Amino acid sequence: MRADQSHAGVPAVTLIHPSGAAITTDPTGLTPAEAVAPSPAGSGCPLRLHGSTPSRSITAEGHLLRQHGEAPAVELPGGVRARVVVSHRLAQSLSADSEGISRDAALHWPGFADGTREVEGVIAAWTATASRNALNSYGENHRRLRAPIAAALTKRRVEAMTPDIEAIVEEALDHLANGPNVADLVPGFALRIPHQVIVRLFGMPADLMGPFYAAAAGLFDTSATAEEMAASMERVGLVLEQLVALRRASPGDDLVSDLIRAADEAEDPLTDDELRDQLMLVIIAGTETTVHAIGNILVHLLTHPAQLDLVVRGEVPLENAVEESLRLQPPAASVPLRFAVRDLTDAESGESFRQGEEILILLAAAGTDPAVHDQPDAFDVRRPTARRHMAFGHGEHFCPGAVLARREIAIAAARFLHRFPDARLATAPEDLTLTQSFISNGHQAIPVQLR
């Protein structure tokens, strides 16, 4: 997921999504004038969701939607209508219903598989089934595709990776230290970390590293068109195919070898194409989210000196700040899309979902639900409810990379603060621009004065 490019003063959003395609949203559809507002009674016009705009965050939009219930009907960019879930309780309950709620559009979105439903824009990209992966699958098929990923992303693997992560972070800090005193932390620091962690995690051999970096750089090229992005994905796919073939022939102590082993041991082993698609999902799901998570916590701490002080003096563990930052600004504000497998009614709220109805769980709203968190919009590293967020989802699709991601964020933040104790934003906080999206939830740039 990536937010980029300026268009008539309003940035467009290029989204890399797990289906294997890429798409740029129409920035002109994101004007503040079209803010969420109550529909005139009887007009039949749904509310509209815009995502973060230059004047309003997706979190603020979530608060406005909350005035219309726990799951108001909303038109998403691209014209698809969906029930947008804004309460933490209902978001958890629906995410945990692995039988009644599906992520598989081909199976559970009427008219999608046979092409009678026209889907455009961002949602078309996110529901496309060109690549079959754990994220867009359901039931037994989901469990089959996910199991090898989860088996490969163990705590043991994260422990073993920790010295590598520390070295990667130190290298990124050296890069910053050797550059100008005012730097953009997004490309200059945050982006370098998950990108290189993935390469080490995959056990990428030296001769594939060059082609991989060249192709993967295209995935994070902020000026790339949708076509260029799709071509980059194809090139990354080719490198991954070679990597799978190599690790089949000579397994090592790496995620790809573990994935192949676990996939082969399964009752219904994964094909090499399926393995490639799961690796692609890991790259996409594990990179930009982590970039934003690192950027978000640094922005939160640098703009809240008293909170930063608590962490630096060791009065509050840095891990609390990590959770509080994930709660307040989850790097994925939402991960489209889910569908009701059958007619459902939530007993507590009375909200009903008809079979095939589209559901978007707004993770950014769940994390700032006032029913769970006092003063939900405040950044408070001592908040007792900080861990009650859904930044990594919930239920069967819960992020299998959460342990790794938390480790990356904590090491990156701790080492940055240690190396640059006097760092401060080089712009007013209100001049930072959020990624203009209802999916990707970070900053487009984080200019910082390092010393």
Judged by CB under 6 A, which of 51, 62, 400, 442 binds ligand HEM? Answer: 400
Contact (CB, 8 A) for 154 and 201: no
Shortest spacing between CB 17 and ligand HEM, in angstroms: 12
DSSP string, 97-129: -TTTEE--HHHHSTTTTTT-S---HHHHHHH--
Q: Could you tell me which stretch among 230-238, 283-291, 302-310, 432-440 binds ligand HEM (CB under 6 A)?
A: 283-291
Shortest spacing between CB 383 and ligand HEM, in angstroms: 18
Shortest spacing between CB 291 and ligand HEM, in angstroms: 9
For residue 450, is the peptide bond before it cis, meaning its omega torsion is within 30 degrees of 0? no
d(CA 260, CA 223): 35
Amino acid of residue 359:
I
| Nearest residue to ligand HEM, by Cβ distance, number only | 401
Contact (CB, 8 A) for 84 and 63: no
Q: Output DSSP code: residue 438.
A: S
Q: Does 233 bind ligand HEM (CB under 6 A)?
A: no
Site for ligand HEM in 360-379 (CB under 6 A): 363
Q: Which residues of 298-334 are buried (b: 16+ CB within 10 A; e: fewer)?
A: bbbbbbbeebbebbbeeebebbbbbbbbbbbbbbbbb
**How far is residue 12 from each of residues 41, 81, 325, 441, 444, measured CA to CA in Å?**
33, 21, 25, 14, 11
Q: Does 47 bind ligand HEM (CB under 6 A)?
A: no
Amino acid of residue 354:
R
Shortest spacing between CB 98 and ligand HEM, in angstroms: 10
CB atoms within 10 A of CB 390: 24
Judged by CB under 6 A, which of 391, 411, 423, 439 binds ligand HEM? Answer: 391
Q: Does 293 bind ligand HEM (CB under 6 A)?
A: yes
Number of residues this chain uses to bind ligand HEM (CB under 6 A): 30
Is the Cβ of residue 123 or residue 450 nearer to ligand HEM in the bound state?
123
Judged by CB under 6 A, which of 397, 416, 435, 443 binds ligand HEM? Answer: 397
**How far is residue 369 from each of residues 64, 65, 105, 335, 379, measured CA to CA in Å?**
12, 11, 28, 18, 14
**How far is residue 211 from each of residues 216, 228, 232, 274, measured CA to CA in Å?**
8, 16, 11, 21
Is the Cβ of residue 21 or residue 135 nearer to ligand HEM in the bound state?
135
Paired sense of beta strands 22-24 and 447-449, if any:
unpaired
Site string for ligand HEM, 172-211 (x = CB under 6 A): ----------------------------------------
DSSP string, 17-68: -TTS-EEE--GGG--GGG---PPPTT--PPEE----BTTB-HHHHHHHHHTT
Shortest spacing between CB 231 and ligand HEM, in angstroms: 23
Q: Does 399 bind ligand HEM (CB under 6 A)?
A: yes
Q: Does 247 bind ligand HEM (CB under 6 A)?
A: no
Q: Two tokens at 389? A: 């967020």
Judged by CB under 6 A, which of 392, 416, 420, 438 binds ligand HEM? Answer: 392
Site string for ligand HEM, 317-336 (x = CB under 6 A): -------------xxx--x-
Is the Cβ of residue 66 or residue 195 nearer to ligand HEM in the bound state?
195
Q: Could you tell me which stretch among 8-16, 43-51, 227-235, 393-401 binds ligand HEM (CB under 6 A)?
A: 393-401
Shortest spacing between CB 232 and ligand HEM, in angstroms: 19
Shortest spacing between CB 125 and ligand HEM, in angstroms: 16
Q: Does 405 bind ligand HEM (CB under 6 A)?
A: yes
Q: Which of 186, 438, 447, 199 is nearest to 336 (CA)?
A: 438
Contact (CB, 8 A) for 434 and 333: no
Site for ligand HEM in 69-108 (CB under 6 A): 95
Shortest spacing between CB 100 and ligand HEM, in angstroms: 14
CB atoms within 10 A of CB 44: 7
In the complex, the residues that contact ligand HEM under the rule CB under 6 A are 95, 134-135, 146, 149, 153, 281-282, 285-286, 289-290, 293, 330-332, 335, 363, 391-395, 397-401, 404-405
